[in-house]
Amino acid sequence: MTNEILYGSCVCGTVTYQVVAPFLRFAHCHCSRCRKATGSSHATNLYVVPSQFKWTSGQKSVVRYDLPTARSFANTFCRSCGSPLPHHTRSGKEVVVPAGSLDDEPSLKPQADIFWGSRAPWGCGGNALPQFAEYPPWWLASQPAVPADGPRPASSARR
Ligand SMILES: [Zn+2]
Ligand SMILES: [Zn+2]
């Protein structure tokens, strides 16, 4: 699927965006920061290179918080309704898209449960996906995980 376009929005509808395939990764993160940022047992995030993402309305209502003690963790949300929204990583190399903010279903399915070692005892999981205590070995590999028959992302790690 070469021209897959997904639309997303916050719960009040002020902020909208679009994201275009190819997708780098899709995973459930069970770390304690994602729990607090989502108020749930885990975050489910889709990753793309910045060229595949754009805001389509309401960008002025997007508020960002960068956790000073973290290497990269950020929480981005709508000023009006508080819904989690996509954010650029501090490196600028990727955009993290909270899958729950999508209005469409990605063709890529979740690939892993990460930070499984930090999961809440009451959390959900057991998706029969590979589980990793923290990041999988392939997470930061220069070659993003994309379907073998899919198009290669444009210079993902060399920007
Ligand atoms: Zn909103
Ligand atoms: Zn996390």
In this predicted model, what pLDDT tens digit does every residue of 20-62 receive, in sequence order? 999 999 999 999 999 999 999 999 999 999 999 999 999 999 9
Q: Is residue 148 part of a domain?
A: no
CB under 8 Å to 68, separation ≥6 — which residues?
none
Q: Is residue 154 part of a domain?
A: no
SS3 label, residue 99: helix
Residue 152 has pLDDT above 50, yes or no: no
Residue 133 has pLDDT above 90, yes or no: no
CB under 8 Å to 7, separation ≥6 — which residues?
16, 17, 18, 56, 102, 103, 104
86 within 8 A of 101, measured Cβ to Cβ: yes
Report how far ligand 1's centroid is from the alpha carbon of 137 (Å). 36
Q: Is residue 142 part of a domain?
A: no
Q: Is residue 153 part of a domain?
A: no
Residue 147 has pLDDT above 70, yes or no: no
Of all ligands present, the nearest one to the C-alpha of 96 is 2
Q: Is residue 128 part of a domain?
A: no
Number of domains in the chain: 1
Instruction: Please tell me the least confidently modeled range out of 4-8, 93-97, 148-152.
Output: 148-152
Report how far ligand 1's centroid is from the alpha carbon of 70 (Å). 26
SS3 label, residue 7: strand
Report how far ligand 2's centroid is from the alpha carbon of 40 (Å). 11
Instruction: Specify the CATH number for the domain of residue 35.
Output: 2.170.150.70
Compute the mean pLDDT over every residue in the chain, rounded to the nearest whole number. 88
Q: What pLDDT score was predicted for residue 148?
A: 46
Q: Is residue 48 part of a domain?
A: yes
Query: pTM for the complete prediction?
Result: 0.82
Report how far ligand 2's centroid is from the alpha carbon of 67 (Å). 12
Q: Is residue 152 part of a domain?
A: no
Q: Is 90 left (phi over 0), alpha (psi -120 to 50) or beta?
A: alpha
What is the mean pLDDT of the segment spanning 65-89?
95
Cα Rg, the chain, nearest whole Å: 15
Q: Burial-class residue 152 by CB neighbours within 10 Å (0-12, 13-18, 19+).
A: exposed
Of all ligands present, the nearest one to the C-alpha of 62 is 1
pLDDT band at residue 3 using 50, 70 and 90 as cut-offs: confident
Q: Is residue 31 part of a domain?
A: yes
Q: What pLDDT score was predicted for residue 72?
A: 87
24: containing domain: 5-118
Report how far ligand 2's centroid is from the alpha carbon of 127 (Å). 17
Q: Burial-class residue 60 by CB neighbours within 10 Å (0-12, 13-18, 19+).
A: exposed
Residue 149 has pLDDT above 50, yes or no: no
Residue 102 has pLDDT above 50, yes or no: yes
